[in-house]
Amino acid sequence: MNTNGETEWRGSAFPAYNALVHGATLVSGILFVLFGLLWRIRDGDGVGNGGSNGNGRRQPIASFLVAGTCFTIGTPIAWIPHYGVLLPVCAYLLFVLIDLAARDRRRGLGKLLLLGIGFAIMSNDFFHPLNELANTPLNVLQSYLFFTALLLLHLLVTTADRPRAARQASAPPLPAA
């Protein structure tokens, strides 16, 4: 039921005020925004000045995508179009995880499967039956985009923040010439 007493959803109406929800949303929103602002990939040389592509230039795309995802997750009210930031996240992760699968097949394919599941959830509109749970304790299941964004954030943070030394150590040795 909306604040105006009607049971029909209206885009101009918000749920009734709840101090616990307000406090939890405020704290989690601040934490997500801070994480998005402060997280950045480590340099492979051990120097913490950002990622490098091998020629000394920084590649801030992962940091930018983490920030955009965190800002969306941390927003008190985010509608479906706000989660459009996840499309470039999926595109970036696809290439990173294909590269990871070439080096570490088991781990890379597992993460590619998670990416595929996340992409399928966010790119399809088959969750309308969950609207029936709106006035039940199971209404948290309506937050499928939020949980998908958390999954993609996890994939971003755990795959983009691998120092170059660890990547080289996991690569197969080159044959002696």
What domain range includes position 57?
Answer: 19-163
* 6 within some domain: no
Whether residue 43 contacts residue 50, with contact meaning beta carbons closer than 8 Å, is answered with: yes
pLDDT tens readout for residues 90-117: 999 999 999 989 988 988 899 999 999 9
* 128 within some domain: yes
pLDDT tens readout for residues 82-93: 899 999 999 999
> Please, what's the b/e burial string for 103-139 (b: 16 or more CB within 10 A of its CB; e: otherwise)?
eeeeebeebbebbeebbebbeeeeeeeeeeeeeeeee
* 49 within some domain: yes
* 7 within some domain: no
pLDDT at position 54: 44
pLDDT at position 16: 79
Confidence of residue 71 (pLDDT cuts 50, 70, 90): very high
Give the C-alpha separation, 13 to 26, whole Å.
20
Contacts of 22 by beta carbon, 8 Å cutoff, 6+ apart:
none
Give the C-alpha separation, 72 to 80, whole Å.
11
DSSP annotation of 23? H
How many separate domains does the chain show? Answer: 1
pTM, whole model, 2 decimals?
Answer: 0.74
pLDDT higher than 80, residue 13: no
* 56 within some domain: yes
Residues in the chain: 177
* 175 within some domain: no
* 11 within some domain: no
Cα–Cα nearest to 148, from 106, 87, 105: 87
Confidence of residue 56 (pLDDT cuts 50, 70, 90): very low
pLDDT tens readout for residues 128-165: 788 788 778 887 888 889 999 999 999 999 887 554 43
pLDDT at position 104: 87
pLDDT at position 163: 42
> Please, what's the b/e burial string for 46-77 (b: 16 or more CB within 10 A of its CB; e: otherwise)?
eeeeebbeeeeeeeeebbebbbbbbbbbbeee
Neighbour count for residue 169 (Cβ, 10 Å): 8
* 33 within some domain: yes
Average pLDDT over the chain reads 79
